[in-house]
Amino acid sequence: MIKTNRNLVYKSILEAVQNQDKLLSVLIDPDKFETTITMNFLENLPYSTRFLFVGGSKVNDGKTDVVVRELKKRTHLPIVLFPGDVNQITDEADCLLFLSLLSGRNPEYLIDQQVKSITKLQFSPLEIIPTGYILIDGGSVTSVLEISQTKAIPQHELSKIIHTALAGQFSGKQLIYLEAGSGAKHPVSPEIISAVKDSISVPLIVGGGIKTEHQRESAFKAGADMVVMGNAFERSM
Ligand code: 1GP
């Protein structure tokens, strides 16, 4: 039998949405993270950080486990896995975004990786959140595009973006994640964020290429419930 999880992360996201409390998550790529500076890294995070996301596009056997364990020793922030590959799943974390790459047509990231993950997840205590992951063109070839061998949806194809998000919601995704890709030249535009937010009723996450406070605030203002920032904090890694 599949163990029930505690649903703490999703519950706190829903509560935040209800209270119009905006959420900041910081993404750690285990391939780039030096565990020796964990404390320093954590001390330099904005006070408003609510979740630590851990994951990267590259396959990294075992490294995620080490990084998550180290973070767990030093912070009470919930650790959310944001895996680029089934190898990055570890029970050491609190929660897993169970991602389906809805913008692409590569079965590996629509369902194959998900099926492969079940040997790890069937009896896992991880909270699992079904998440529709949508790549939006951010003006650069990011590693998620390279690895997934898919195309991002151009920013001007607004109705395709909205329909993809809604198709995700109607197929049961509890979160929709608009991703411009790590290091993207252009983050997802405020117009896209507000159009998607107006169309869906599940929480909306936005990430990729958000480097400044201004960009973060304009994503929030447009309707993002959560913003994920990675590169902006990598200096302190
Ligand atoms: C998370 O891929 C992003 O959605 C992180 O992107 O590294 O550009 O902040 P950055």
Average pLDDT, the chain: 94
On whether residue 66 sits in a domain, the answer given is yes
On whether residue 1 sits in a domain, the answer given is no
Is the C-beta atom of 232 inside 6 A of ligand 1? yes
Neighbours of 71 (CB within 10 A): 21
| pLDDT tens figures, 3-39 | 555 789 999 999 999 999 999 999 999 999 999 999 9
How far apart (Å, rounded) are the C-alpha atoms in residues 30 and 221? 30
On whether residue 148 sits in a domain, the answer given is yes
Structurally, the chain folds into a number of domains equal to: 1
Query: What is the domain range of residue 205?
Result: 8-236
Q: Which of 94, 82, 80, 87 is nearest to 120 (CA)?
A: 87
Ligand 1 mean position, distance from CA 2 (Å): 32
| pLDDT tens figures, 47-102 | 999 999 999 877 667 899 999 999 999 999 999 999 999 999 999 999 999 999 99
**CATH code of the domain containing 200:** 3.20.20.390
Evaluate whether 38 touches 52 at the Cβ level (below 8 Å): no
On whether residue 51 sits in a domain, the answer given is yes
On whether residue 54 sits in a domain, the answer given is yes
Is the C-beta atom of 139 inside 6 A of ligand 1? no
On whether residue 19 sits in a domain, the answer given is yes
Average pLDDT over every residue of 164-174: 98
Is the C-beta atom of 227 inside 6 A of ligand 1? no
On whether residue 2 sits in a domain, the answer given is no
Is the C-beta atom of 29 inside 6 A of ligand 1? no
On whether residue 3 sits in a domain, the answer given is no
